Amino acid sequence: MVVANQKGGVGKTTTTVNLAASLALHGARVLVIDLDPQGNASTALGVDHHAEVPSIYDVLVESKPLSEIVQPVPDVEGLFCAPATIDLAGAEIELVSLVARESRLQRAIQAYEQPLDYILIDCPPSLGLLTVNALVAGAEVLIPIQCEYYALEGLGQLLRNVDLVRGHLNPLLHVSTILLTMYDGRTRLASQVADEVRNHFGDEVLRTSIPRSVRISEAPSYGQTVLTYDPGSSGALSYFEAAREIALRGVGVRYDVQHAHVGGQNEQQNLTEGMQ
């Protein structure tokens, strides 16, 4: 799952790490790939990511195997992280001259042999080569949308990029999930934005929305997700419920994809057209 939105401050990293922790606490094996040069997902998961640490930069630019950089997350069994370091800031430029620059992450994931139930990719707030690598590698796109006035601004370009990648590089890619974040039930604006998003995207929007929460904001400063920092908080319970929705949706999707694979190219093409 690619967690993407080129608008900054919408909760991409927060959503990635907390959904990953929720799924792992439900018993899944989950890998978080931190593709943001700021490395905030690595920080929130308590994973070392200073300049000398082998990171996703080495995978993309130096072709290092993904298995050599993945670290277990200290507080959550079954959760792993491929960290980002500041080196990733220059990767956009370095990737331009490399062969198969759009699919380097995809090949690294395909060569990764450890069993996993979910891979969540945290994208930077841009639509450059790092995000394109994530879209080529992913099967689904999850878009966090904050319940504020500019919520839908700029989303059109992201959706066009998803269509371009699907048309040329990754035919199974589709936007499967919209998650409303920073929801404040006390304001009429939040309700209006939520209604607008639900009207626009329909069933792709999760029923669960993530509230504004001090606990969610505090947790990264302790190198934790809100699930381990304060499991009983409203933020933790919301992410648990959102993860449950995603897991229940995913059962049907995984069956369909597997069935299409077994059934041959014609069925797979039908599935792809259905997703489109």
Write the DSSP string, 5-52. Answer: -SSTTSSHHHHHHHHHHHHHHTT--EEEEE--TT-HHHHHTT---STT
pLDDT of residue 256 exceeding 80: no
Per residue in 203-234, pLDDT tens?
Answer: 999 999 999 999 999 999 999 999 999 999 99
What kind and span of H or E run contains 80?
strand 79-82
pLDDT-based confidence at 251, cuts 50/70/90? low
Between β-strands 2-3 and 140-146, what pairing exists: parallel, antiparallel or unpaired?
A: parallel
Question: What pLDDT does residue 156 have?
Answer: 85
Q: How far is CA 195 from the centre of its chain?
A: 24
pTM metric for this prediction: 0.88
pLDDT, greater one: 185 or 183: 183
Which residue is listed with tokens 């897991």?
247
Spatial distance between the Cα atoms of 62 and 207, rounded to a whole number of angstroms: 42
pLDDT in tens, 130-151: 999 999 999 999 999 999 888 8
Check pLDDT > 60 for residue 267: no
Amino acid identity, residue 115? P
Name the architecture of domain 2-275: 3-Layer(aba) Sandwich (3.40)
Q: What letter does residue 82 receive in the DSSP assignment?
A: E
Mean pLDDT of 237-265: 66
Proportion of the chain above pLDDT 70, given as a percent: 91
Instruction: Tell whether the model's pLDDT for residue 85 goes beyond 90.
Output: yes
What is residue 257's predicted lDDT score, i.e. its pLDDT? Answer: 39
The 3-class SS string of 98-158 reads: CCCHHHHHHHHHHCCCCCCCEEEEECCCCCCHHHHHHHHHCCEEEEEEECCCCCCCCHHHH
What's the rounded Cα separation, in Å, for the pair 125 and 182?
17
Domains of the chain by residue range: 2-275
> What percent of the chain shows pLDDT beyond 90?
75
Q: Classify residue 255 as exposed, middle or buried by CB count within 10 Å of its CB (0-12, 13-18, 19+).
A: exposed
Among the residue ranges 36-45, 74-83, 173-182, 259-268, the one predicted with the least confidence is 259-268
Check whether 262 has a pLDDT greater than 70: no
Average per-residue pLDDT for the chain: 88
Q: Taking residues 247-263, what's their average pLDDT?
A: 52
